[in-house]
Amino acid sequence: MNLLTTRYTAPMMTSRHLTFGLAALLPLCLLISTFTEFSATAQERRIMSPAGRSATQVGGSPFDPVRGFVNDKWIEVRYGRPLTRGRNIFGLDDYREALNDGAEVWRAGANHTTQLITDVPLMLDDTRLEAGTYTLFIDLAASPWEFIVSSWPAQVTFDEDFSEALYGAYGYTDDRDVLRIPMDVETPPWAFDQLSWQFLDVTETGGRLAMFWADTMASVTFSLVE
């Protein structure tokens, strides 16, 4: 036999062989697909301080036993929700500087400027606030803290060159303050890991707007303009 001239003839592939081969590859394909999906999910970045909204409705009439008051007017707060992540938020000597982060006041949230949107005129500490969209801040240097409602507009996305609207509290000045009122600052019996604005003790004529974070609750009362 001439080894140099002998040709090798591959065995013929039958449908049985082909089926067996595909069946053997199927678990491997599923494993690769699962690993790819897991890797993509693991690489997704969660937002460190996700956006939040708190809202209530007031001033409705008439009252329906099932639906509650109807024709109510909306009051809403939009804000960022930072977590404590083990930090002593209000217990450090320099907590004001840390929270203000170079601004004059605290945005009372995270990332975007905190906003108050009200469909109805409100009274806050004998000061009338007309219906509209406002920005909210807290002056941590005041004693007690002061709740600030400002006419400064909020930026949608951060633009350091645009000085006609604010991102966070950067660029804030008090010449556009609509009102400043003292807040009731309390220590609740529990700690809140994620900052939250909430409406408390709401009736058809008013309620309280409160900020909860860590071991602190700060609130103001509001009522509808009669």
Residue 213 sits at the vertex; the CA angle it makes with 211 and 219, to the nearest 5 degrees, is 25
Q: Are residues 194 and 94 in the same domain?
A: yes
Residue 104 sits at the vertex; the CA angle it makes with 99 and 109, to the nearest 5 degrees, is 40
> Which residues, including other chains, have CB under 8 Å from residue 142's CB and lie 6 or more apart?
182
**Would you write out the chain's pLDDT as a tens digit for each of its 226 residues?**
444 444 545 555 555 554 545 555 555 555 555 444 544 444 478 888 788 899 998 887 776 777 777 777 899 999 999 999 999 999 999 999 999 999 999 999 998 999 999 999 999 999 999 999 999 999 999 999 999 999 999 998 888 888 898 999 999 999 999 999 999 999 999 999 999 999 999 988 899 999 999 999 999 999 999 7
Q: Are residues 161 and 57 in the same domain?
A: yes
Q: Are residues 62 and 33 in the same domain?
A: no
Residue 141 within a domain: yes
Residue 19 within a domain: yes
Q: Are residues 92 and 132 in the same domain?
A: yes
pLDDT of residue 40: 44
Q: Are residues 91 and 36 in the same domain?
A: no
pLDDT of residue 32: 52
The HSE-up count of residue 24 (CA atoms within 13 Å, CB side) is: 6
Helices (DSSP H) in 88-221: which residue ranges? 95-100
Residue 164 within a domain: yes
pLDDT of residue 4: 46
pLDDT of residue 45: 84
pLDDT of residue 36: 47
- SS3 of residue 153 by DSSP: coil
Rounded Cα distance, 220 and 147, in Å: 8
Burial class (CB in 10 A: 0-12, 13-18, 19+), 153: middle
Q: Are residues 120 and 101 in the same domain?
A: yes
Q: Are residues 85 and 180 in the same domain?
A: yes
Q: Are residues 108 and 179 in the same domain?
A: yes
pLDDT of residue 39: 46
Q: Are residues 40 and 128 in the same domain?
A: no
Contact 223, 206 (CB under 8 A): yes
pLDDT of residue 157: 84
Q: Are residues 79 and 174 in the same domain?
A: yes
The pTM of this model reads 0.77
Residue 6 within a domain: no
Residue 93 within a domain: yes
pLDDT of residue 38: 45
Domain count, the chain: 2
Domain around 181: 51-224
| Residue in this structure with the two tokens 């937002």, named with its chain if needed | 47
Q: Are residues 38 and 60 in the same domain?
A: no
pLDDT of residue 78: 97
Residue 10 within a domain: no
Q: Are residues 28 and 132 in the same domain?
A: no
- SS3 of residue 85 by DSSP: coil
Residue 207 within a domain: yes
Rounded Cα distance, 107 and 161, in Å: 19
Report in angstroms the alpha-carbon separations of 170 from 101, 130, 162, 209.
Answer: 9, 25, 11, 24
Residue 133 within a domain: yes
